[in-house]
Structure 1
Amino acid sequence: MSKHVEGKIYKGRKADLISGILAVIKIIFFMFIVPFCIGVLLNGILPVVRRTVGITFIFGYVVYFAVFELVAIPCMLHYVYNAFSYCTYIYLVISLLLALAGIVKAVYLLRKHGMDYLTLFPGETHATAHELLSPRSDPRMLKLSYSVESRIYWGIFFTLLLVQMILAVVMSSFDGDDAYYVVESLLAQQADVMNTILPYTGTSTSLDIRHALAVITMWIAYMARICGVHATIMSHSVVPVLIIPLVYLVYVEIARILFRRRQEVIPVFMIIVSFLMMFGNISIYTPATFFLTRTWQGKAIVNSLVFPLIMWVFLWMLEDSRKRPIFGPKVDNSTESYEEYKEHKTIYKISPWIFLTLINMLSGVCTSMGVIFGTGLVALFTLVLLLFERNLRVVIGAICCVIPNALYLLVYLGLFHS
């Protein structure tokens, strides 16, 4: 082989390496840093004890998806040509502006409070001097030191999580739905359309109403275009690396509420959950099967992420209402913690309903089925919450948080009958 040919091969490999490194940097930035910065910008509406790194990241992502839904659906309905380009440019500008504002806020808070304005680990809330001295202080809200056994269990869980993420990439599963959903993302990336080409035949068609409003395929296409990655690679290899740890993060937050008095049990709970996911492939229709083999599909995200998020928000509200028993006199407010005392503000009371509204929007992003089943779950859990709160404002909050679902259905039915 001549030196000239060898030089070309070397330059080609070097260019591919540089391109791959840039793609990884873009993926980290747009899939992890940007949503976290958005969460930092808006997490001021959350109660103090909910402003952990994990909840901030979750909150940023539900906002990230909600903004995409508000941008993608109008672009898809309004523009005939180059609809995806318009969607990409508008969403990119909005998300970057929100992220930039979040960075500015983070810099300000770091200068003012140091690293204590966000807490890192599950079950840990850094205590201020006022909280340590206050008789209202609740020990459960203060910093927790994990035992050696708990740290070992955390190590086992993170090992299992890493194994699942690696296997999801190197043993990526393919199924018949890829011929539709993944191709929809690929068509948006390469043909600049949004649900106006049939994936099975490649022919132009009117807007595919059945799948059009579930814009998760368009979000994957957006990430593929903005990061310079093929849509199929983004679906099968990149999205699982995001969704799998995000789902487990939600379960960690659920465990923080269920085991509030015994935080050292959380890693054991997470190990059990991870084993149920790993060995739940008893049929092709189980939640565990969808979670690990169809991670990038909207119905898998609804089942694995959205439904646990709805459950977590209601557990959050039930925990906040624990001072109000169903029977018997009200507990004396003088026994409540200092943190809870500070959080008796309107924005803190409605923040879970705001969170739930954004989660309902996420369900619509993933699949139209999520809108129906999500509304049903909200109604069911609202009845339970009503027993504890004994206040009709719970019903009002539930009605308000499903307004996006109602609008979603109205748009769907309007398109279907047009």
Structure 2
Amino acid sequence: MLLILWLLIVPMLIGILLNGILPIFRRTVGITFILGYLAYFGLFEIIAIPCMTRITYGAFGYCYRYFFASSIVLAVLGLTRLILVLVKEGPSFLSVFPGDTHAGARELMSPRSDPKGLKLDYSVEARIYWGIFFVLLAVQMVLAVVMSSFDGDDAYYVVESLLAQQVDVMNTIHPYTGISTSLDIRHAFAVITMWIAFVAKGSGVHSTIVAHSIIPLVVIPFVYLVYVEIGRILFRRRQEVIPVFMLVVSFLMMFGNVSIYTPATFFLMRTWQGKAMVANLVFPLILWIFLWLLEDIRETSGNGKLTWMQKVAPWFILTLVNMLSGICSSLGIVFGGGLVALYTLVLLFFRKKWTCLLGAFVSVIPSMIYVLVYMSLRGA
């Protein structure tokens, strides 16, 4: 029950707290959950890195207490907002998450439509494809647990989580020898290991079990959720094609083990590692945000101007994605920033406004701060 609390309920409530920044037609359960998790990770980075770099003894204990209190406060605020919206809009969750009724893209994107009253019925064929996809998803999740693979990196990354859980340290004991050492700058800033330790300590489950048996059950469907949102934009006029798109993505993941270095291999065999999340979660999230921005350009030309909040929302989420890249891997900062720069050039070609450059620059400010802190500590 505590695992469900920290891995599902708290992030969802944080997403509910923040989803007011989203356009009405994007306040779906899926996007709300993505937003909540990104804010959840961003909050952890803000707390974990100062605790790790400024506190000498019992650093993880302080990190655990600060993050515990902060996330609970945000979750309670999200629950309060949920209750208020339910009272105001009605008892149905569709009032809180409009657009989650498979409404047609054209009607759903129109400002004159009521998303709560729209529904697109999938054909029998599309329902069969969805069924096949969910079976494949279940197979991947089950096999990721019962056939969990172990590699040399587990002796380092998983042990770092375990040491944090049991000894209250943050990267100051060498995992190979058990000897106290100075802060390991090379690996320390990828605090995803500390987040796993937080989940383990908060639920009373061993860190190794959390890493190998619990995290895949969260990350695998989360990645596919991001691809669903990508498909909703790519096939906005033909939503019934989305399950076919998801089947293609699923097969690419299942049969992508052509070498030990492919993203698909990391996705299913080393899911709990930060580099696996960078390749399979952070990069698709960046692509989704820029598809969102390109779609907004089309809607602006067809239905009038977007509000200030609608313009800011994707850049805010992109900022959280860049923070997630640093949590997962230090190299995620480099590659994530490169993707943002590349996609911004494409966006600039279509939008032809300097404001997209400003949005991209603001979104990478956390990455710049991350690099500056990293270099200052490495130089010291």
Shorter chain as normaliser: what TM range? over 0.9
Matched positions, count: 375
Contact 1:126–1:143 (8 Å) recurs in 2 = no
Instruction: String of CA shifts for 1:209-256, please: whole Å, max 9, x gaps.
Output: 001111000000000000000000000000000000000000000000
Q: Give 5+ residue unaligned stretches, structure 2.
A: none
Once the two structures are superposed, residues 141-164 of structure 1 have per-residue CA deviations (whole angstroms, 9 ceiling, x without a partner) of 943221111111111101100110
Structure 1 unpaired stretches of 5+: 1-24, 325-330
In the alignment, the residues of structure 2 paired with residue 119 and residue 169 of structure 1 have an alpha-carbon distance, to the nearest angstrom, of 34
Residue matched to 2:361 = 399
1:44 aligns with 2:6: no
Equivalent of 2:37, from 53, 57, 61? 61
Match for 1:235: what amino acid? Answer: A
Task: Determine if contact 1:165/1:240 at 8 Å carries over to the other structure.
Answer: yes
Residue of structure 2 aligned with 1:78, choices 32, 54, 59 = 54
Indicate the larger mover: 77-86 or 106-115: 106-115
1:99 is the counterpart of 2:104? no
CA 1:70 to 1:125, structure 2 compared with 1: closer, same or farther past 3 Å?
farther
Shift of 1:138: 9.7
Partner SS, residue 410 of structure 1: helix
3-state SS of the aligned residue for 1:84?
Answer: helix
| TM-score w.r.t. length of structure 1 | 0.86
Q: Give me the TM-score of the superposition, normalised by structure 2.
A: 0.95
**Secondary structure of 1:321's aligned partner:** helix
Following superposition, the deviation at residue 323 of structure 1 comes to 4.9
SS at match of 1:322: helix
User: 2:153 matched to which residue of 1?
Assistant: 177
What does residue 351 of structure 1 align with?
313
Q: Which one of the candidate residues 274, 284, 306 is aligned to 1:308?
A: 284
Task: Encode CA deviations 1:285-323: one digit per residue, 9 max, x unaligned.
Answer: 011000000000000001000000000000000001025
Give how far 1:344 is off.
2.4
**Counterpart for residue 328 of structure 1:** none
Q: What is the deviation of 1:137?
A: 4.3
Asked whether the equivalents of residues 24 and 98 of structure 2 are also in contact (C-alpha less than 8 Å), the reply is: no
Structure 1 residue 117 displacement after superposition: 2.2
In structure 2, what is the equivalent of residue 225 of structure 1? 201
Q: 1:65: Cα distance to partner?
A: 0.2
Structure 1 residue aligned with 2:103? 124
| Cα RMSD (Å) | 2.0
Secondary structure of the corresponding residue to residue 298 of structure 2: coil
- Contact preservation (8 Å) 2:148, 2:269: yes
Q: Specify the SS of the correspondent of 2:171.
A: coil
Deviations 1:84-111 (A, max 9, x none): 0100000000000100000110011111
Quote the residue 2:328 is aligned against. 366
Q: Deviations over 1:26-46 (max 9, x none)?
A: 001110000000000001011
SS at match of 1:200: coil
Which residue matches 1:385?
347
Identity score, percent = 63
Match of 1:187 in 2: 163
| Higher Cα radius of gyration | 1
